[in-house]
Amino acid sequence: MRIGISADADLEPTEIINLQLAHFAPKPLVDVLVKHQVVPVILPIVPGEMALASLQGLDGLIIPGGHDIAPEYLSANPSRFIGPTYSPRDAFEFPLVKAAVKLHLPLFGICRGIQVINAALGGSVYQDLPSEYEADNLLPHSQRSRGDLPTHRVKIDGDSQLGHAVGETALVNSRHHQAVKDVAPGLHVVATAPDGVVEAVENDDASIQAVQWHPENLWQNSEQQERIFTAFFDRVAKGED
C-alpha cells in the first residue's frame, strides 16, 4: 500500500540555499504509516496541472496541516488576523483534492487538510475564528500547551465512519484559528467541539474524511487516535480490492 502525503514548505529563512522553501512531511505522520507497513510517498509542491499525474500509483492521499489558506483560494479578501500563507501549496492542493475525488482515491485531511478539502469542493472557511465565529463560549482552538497534549473534547456522530472507529467522544488537541464554515456539497459534519466548531467531516462512503485536530501527534499515546489511521488504511485496502 502506497499513500501520498502532500508536502508543506519551510517558510523560515535559512543560510543553506538548498533548504530554502524545502518540502517536508510531519515525522509523526510518516511514522504511523511506517508502523502499519504503509509506504509514505511525499508529494512535493508542484504546479496544479501536475496534480493528477502526482497521484498515479498511489492507493490513498493525506492532506496534512500547515499554514493558513491564502484568501484568494477562499474567494475572500484577507482578514487582518490571517496568519502566514504560501499560495503555491494551495495552487497544488486544491486541484490535488479534486483529482483524488475524480479517481475515487481515499482521501484523509488533517487540520489545514479539512479546510482545504472543504474549500476545494465548494465549501467556505473562517479565516479567523476569534474575530468571525459568533459564539460567546468559543474555546481556545489554538492551544498554548504542547501539541501532543489533548485540550478539549469533541462529540462524534456514532453512526458515522469516524464514530464506528473511535466512539462518540474524543479528547483532542487543537492548533488552528481557521475552520470549516459552510460545508461543501457531498460532505457532512460528523464531529463538533462544545462551542459548535466543526471538528470532522466525511462523505457518505467515507472515501473522504477529515478532522480538525492532529491525531498524528496523539496516536503514540492513544489507541483511540491510532484507530483513526488504521480505519483509513482499511478503507484504502478495500479500494485496492
As annotated, the active-site residues are 111, 214, 216
Backbone angles phi, psi at 82, to 5 degrees: -65, 145
DSSP character for 85? B
202: left (phi over 0), alpha (psi -120 to 50) or beta: beta
> Do the beta carbons of residue 229 and residue 240 sit within 8 Å?
no
> Do the beta carbons of residue 39 and residue 25 sit within 8 Å?
no
